[in-house]
Chains A and B, each alone.
Chain A
Amino acid sequence: MNQIVKFWERINAFAGKDSDTVRKGRLLNVMLTGIFFLGFVVLLLAAVTGIATPNLSSVIGTLIIVSLVLGYINQFSVRSASILLLFFLTLILVFADAPAELAGGRSSFVFFIPIAISSLLLAPAASFLFAVIATVIIIYLSASANIPISPTIPSGYFFLALISWLASRSLEQALTDLRGINANLDRLVADRTQALSESLEREHIIAGRNQAILNSIADGVIVFGADNQAILANPALGRLLERPLNDLIGNKLETLMHTEQLSPASRETMAQLIQSSEQASSGLRIEWGKKTISTSIAPVMDGINNNIGTVAVFRDITREAEVEKLKDSFVAIISHELRTPLNAILGHAEMLKEAIYGAMNDQQASVAGRIMANSGRLLNMVNDLLDEAQISAGKLSIRPEPFKTAALIEGLHQTLDKVAADKGITITEELASDMPEEIIGDAQRLQQIVINLVNNAIKFTEKGGVHVRIFRPQPDQWTIEVRDTGIGIPKEELANIFEAFRQVDAVTTRQRGGFGLGLSIVKQLVELMRGEIKVQSTIGSGSTFSVTLPLETH
């Protein structure tokens, strides 16, 4: 059975032929097979019923042999086999019945067969050819049998030819259309497939490149999807958190943070970070085991501003944190240890000057005074360093208590009158009458602010004076304003003057002395007191610093 199917497939293959020929060849195969088997069946029936005549048997035998021969020819030339079959059929039909029956009787219809088949096997218009042939045969048979020709029979042939022609033509047209549609469809599918494979290729390249970029970043990077589950992470993160990458992917940030390695305070920081992941935030520190990690988190937006996830970056700043801690404690220890011997120098010089060990001559007293003045300067610098270190380490706190407003002015004169007088400039002041006599604040730190501002003003003023004004710009605010007639600050430096260790240029540092910490400390103290500092300056005519603080009284 299998072999029969294979044989059938093989004879219907018609390799290398156009689709029309293939269709016709296959149709011919079906017809020939039909004739072949029908021949056998008829022969069998004739033999069984006993009506087999030598004439019938030879006709059918011929049919069977012809079908085999034509089937063979069909494999090489469909057209030849078709023409041969049609002519053979026409020929054999002439002998199928008595000439009278064929010409005008009940057998005239047999010529319908080649007419109809020809339009299918050869070309639609071939039906007319076989209609002509059938008519010629009928005329010949009528003439030879001496019977009149019935005009209805040739008319029927041509009518059938017309119908066959129309039917076949529309069939071929439909097939042509279908082939066109198929071809279009094929092209479309091919185009789409091509585009899809190109885009997949592109995507593959982009994804590969993205992964390569991620892999080469030293910081740990993790990307969470809209459902907050990690979809992407780089090897640096695995190394940083000491966990395999597979462990990280698919987890929520919350789950990742639920670990013993994370200190409770850091866990809280992360929780806040996760809650506010709608906004970008950066530089938050967490302690992960023995590591200090700086964390940044930012929402991932698509083209139309929808939040489609979160990206978090973890940077190992353990070394930086250690260095920072070392620096802080270094500054604290140095400042601390420097104070004691400085205190001793100051004390001894003062005792000399105070004549505790007996009276000195003027020159000796003057030297003692210079020792005191210089150790005092040195001490101020050490104090500034310590203040700066304590403020930046967050160790300095503000201690508000009631104090007399006028004391600020008194302290200022006590400390800086001599310094100003040495430079030939004056310190004047103005205490607004609506200022309360007593206010609440950290007197020591406020005094430090006033002294630092005025000291700074004296440093940069060669002639004229420094004017201090204390007033209330608003009922709930008070302002310390320090105006000088000094050299002024260049516009481009205004933004930097509050930075630690900065003076306008290196030359001024040598000329004016100090680390340039004064203004930095003032600004930080003012911020600790929830106030604000402003500066206005004109080159050549002077600067005005104003510190505005919330006013608190009893």
Chain B
Amino acid sequence: MENFALVIEDDPDLSGIFTKALEAAGFKVETLMDGALAQKRLEEVIPRVIVLDMHLPHVDGITLLKQIHSTSNFKDTKIIMTTADNVQAELHRSQVTIAMVKPITFSQLRDISARLKIN
């Protein structure tokens, strides 16, 4: 497994920042801004890290989370949940590797994702 990361975030600014942060941490990054597209893409790739926003167009983060947990394909995949809602973060904390409440700074995500890399 290579250090490949999938950033699923619909806000163009945040997805740009998250992508740059993961790239700065040494990941090869693919960015998706739509839940339905992400759903399709997750059938094709097995990333090391998924940065998953909860609020997405067409298919939301909860549904994607269910899809990820429905197969054993992603047993080595680290999931970073990002949400602006701390109640939601608490609610799904157990289903993800790390739950991050927005605002998430560039350096925070860079440092956290760097620790999830395969060396």
Contacts and interface: CB of A to CB of B under 8 A. Distances in A.
A339 B84 contact: yes
A69 B17 CA distance: 140
Contacts of B104: 343, 347
B107 A342 contact: no
B76 interface: no
A343 B87 contact: no
A395 B24 contact: no
Contact of A340 (B24, B84, B105): B84
Given A356-B20, A356-B24, A350 B11 contact: no
B90 A347 contact: no
A350 B106 contact: yes
Contacts of B13: 341, 343-344, 347-348
B64 to A, nearest CB: 19
B14 A344 contact: yes
Contact of A347 (B85, B87, B106): B106
Given A346-B103, A350-B105, A356-B24, A340 B90 contact: no
B41 interface: no
B28 interface: no
A44 B55 CA distance: 133
Interface in B1-49: 11, 13-14, 17, 20-21, 24
A340 B86 CA distance: 14
Interface residues of B, number: 18
Nearest to B82: A343
Interface string A367-401: 00000000000010000001000100001110100
A397 to B, nearest CB: 8
Contacts of B84: 336, 339-340
A350 B14 contact: no
Contact of B87 (A341, A342, A350, A390): A390
Nearest to A345: B13
A380 to B, nearest CB: 10
Chain B binding surface, main DSSP class: helix
A356 B103 CA distance: 19
A354 interface: yes
Interface in B61-103: 84-87, 90, 102-103
A341 B12 CA distance: 10
B17 A344 contact: yes
Contacts of B107: 350, 354
Contacts of A356: 20, 24, 106
Contacts of B14: 340, 343-344, 347
A189 interface: no
Contacts of A346: 103, 105-106
A386 B103 CA distance: 13
Interface in A330-364: 336, 339-344, 346-348, 350-351, 354, 356
Nearest to B17: A347
B20 A343 contact: no
A539 B37 CA distance: 62
A346 B85 CA distance: 18
Q: Which of B11, B20, B104 has the most CB of A within 10 A?
A: B20
Contacts of A379: 103
Contacts of A354: 24, 106-107
B102 A351 contact: no
Nearest to A336: B84
A116 B99 CA distance: 128
B52 to A, nearest CB: 16
A194 B11 CA distance: 89
Given A343-B102, A343-B103, A343-B104, A351 B87 contact: no
A340 B11 contact: yes
B102 A340 contact: yes
A399 B90 contact: yes
Nearest to A341: B13
Given A340-B84, A347-B13, A399-B90, 12 more contacts: A336-B85, A339-B103, A341-B13, A342-B103, A343-B14, A347-B14, A347-B104, A347-B105, A350-B107, A354-B24, A356-B20, A395-B87
15 contacts: A336-B85, A340-B11, A340-B14, A341-B13, A343-B17, A344-B13, A347-B17, A347-B106, A350-B106, A351-B20, A351-B106, A354-B106, A356-B24, A390-B87, A396-B87
